Structure 1
């Protein structure tokens, strides 16, 4: 009797498995491509891997005087759409001097109090900046630092490639880091020497 029950159970199990479509033997069979559901044969699309370091935003900068009379950049947000508007805003921030946080970082300015900087003209990447305000200008190394601040700040905007300085509308002889005076357009490269400290 027990043998009959076991045999009957085995037969029923075989019928159930066959009805579910579970193969009871044999090797794998190839399936025609036309029988494969749409999209399963297409390799998954891969998106490019994210960069290991996010792109740095090239923000406009004002250049301030740090310890050892080295010029140091500080990123600023500017208003305006055109170069002239953005530059006027940036130069206004430079003339205002360092913020409280920048003063905490021991940053100062060589520009005299009350000095106003305004964009007088823009000609194919050369910007004319007019200085108005106190008659007393800094002297010696402070003059070179002040001019370096203006030139490096202005040229931190990509469209401004060179700077001409005027004083109340008249051409101004500007000192290079070497002390030589020039009325030629000034570039950031002219003042790179002020971005590093004196040799020890």
Structure 2
């Protein structure tokens, strides 16, 4: 009798442990999975077309940085990504209240071979094209480029010389900047 009782107790323990507190359901329900990396290619497991690449473009809304994702059939180079940033939001992004603080700005990016720090040459803005908040404008560039897997930091140049720019807190620096330097300005996705 004690053998049957021991077997029943063991079976009950196994059933209770295997349940893990998740009740059985008759119908499927939606599950929110963790966000996959934005800078990788899509795969069959995500249900997206093979070869689709997510590109982060950091736009603005109410003087805040907002990371948006645009998908394309192929990866974009850093210069093309900055060109899209300067061009501004798509009509769908405009409908969400997004804009850019970089309109009419000329940017040229280089990434030296073997380096993960991009150098961005920035033109002198046209007169009358002043920015309300330069930290947001520089933050757009830094957050867009450092969302790439091949760029970890960004430094700025004007006429080939190091340029002092504001970080997210308004402190001026000539050091390479990362997205973490603008964390206080970035809205959650």
Report the TM-score when normalising by structure 2.
0.65
- Structure 1 residue 64 corresponds to structure 2 residue 54: no
Q: Distance in 1 between matches of 2:63 and 2:104?
A: 21
Residue from 70, 78, 81 that aligns with 1:76: 70
Task: Report the counterpart of residue 87 of structure 2 in structure 1.
Answer: 96
Residue segments in structure 1 that go unaligned for 5+ positions in a row: 1-51
Query: Which runs of structure 2 are paired with 1:141-156 in the superposition (5 Å)?
Result: 142-156=133-147
Q: How many residues align?
A: 140
Contact map agreement 1:78 1:89 (CA 8 A) in 2: no
Residue segments in structure 2 that go unaligned for 5+ positions in a row: 1-30, 39-53
Larger radius of gyration: 1
Q: Distance in 1 between matches of 2:106 and 2:66?
A: 21
| Deviation (angstroms), 1:146 | 0.1
Runs of 4+ with deviation above 6 angstroms: none
Query: Which runs of structure 2 are paired with 1:120-139 in the superposition (5 Å)?
Result: 120-122=110-112, 124-132=115-123, 134-136=125-127, 138-139=130-131
Give the match's secondary structure for 2:77: helix
Give the match's secondary structure for 1:146: helix
For residues 124 and 91 of structure 1, do their structure 2 counterparts lie closer, same or farther at Cα, with a shift above 3 Å needed? same
Task: Report the counterpart of residue 104 of structure 2 in structure 1.
Answer: 114
Q: Distance in 1 between matches of 2:35 and 2:177?
A: 29
TM-align CA RMSD = 2.5
Task: Report the counterpart of residue 181 of structure 2 in structure 1.
Answer: 190
Q: Distance in 2 between matches of 1:78 and 1:165?
A: 28
Contact map agreement 1:163 1:186 (CA 8 A) in 2: yes
For residues 196 and 73 of structure 1, do their structure 2 counterparts lie closer, same or farther at Cα, with a shift above 3 Å needed? closer
| Deviation (angstroms), 1:158 | 1.2
Give the match's secondary structure for 1:118: strand
For residues 178 and 149 of structure 1, do their structure 2 counterparts lie closer, same or farther at Cα, with a shift above 3 Å needed? same
Contact map agreement 1:128 1:164 (CA 8 A) in 2: yes
| Deviation (angstroms), 1:131 | 1.1
For residues 133 and 175 of structure 1, do their structure 2 counterparts lie closer, same or farther at Cα, with a shift above 3 Å needed? closer
Give the match's secondary structure for 2:82: helix
Query: Which runs of structure 2 are paired with 1:157-168 in the superposition (5 Å)?
Result: 157-168=148-159
